[in-house]
Amino acid sequence: MRTMRMSDDAIAVQIGQAIRERRLRKNITQDELANSVGISAPTLQKLEKGKGTLATLISTLRALGSLDLLTPLMTPPPVSPLAVAKSKKSLTRVRAIGHARATATATNTAVIVSKGSAGTTLLIPKKTRRNQDGEDS
Note the pLDDT of residue 72: 84
Residue 123: its H or E element = strand 121-125
- CATH no. for 8-74: 1.10.260.40
Answer positive or negative: Cα dihedral of 105, 111, 116, 121.
negative
Note the pLDDT of residue 110: 47
pLDDT digit string (tens) for the chain, length 137 residues: 577 888 999 999 999 999 999 999 999 999 999 999 999 999 999 999 999 999 999 999 999 999 998 888 888 878 888 877 777 655 556 666 655 554 444 444 545 555 555 555 556 666 666 666 666 65
Note the pLDDT of residue 79: 80
57, 69 Cβ separation under 8 angstroms: no
DSSP code string of 12-36: HHHHHHHHHHHHHHTT--HHHHHHH
Name the phi and psi angles at 31, rounded to 5: -65, -45
Question: CATH 1.10.260.40 residue ranges in the chain?
Answer: 8-74
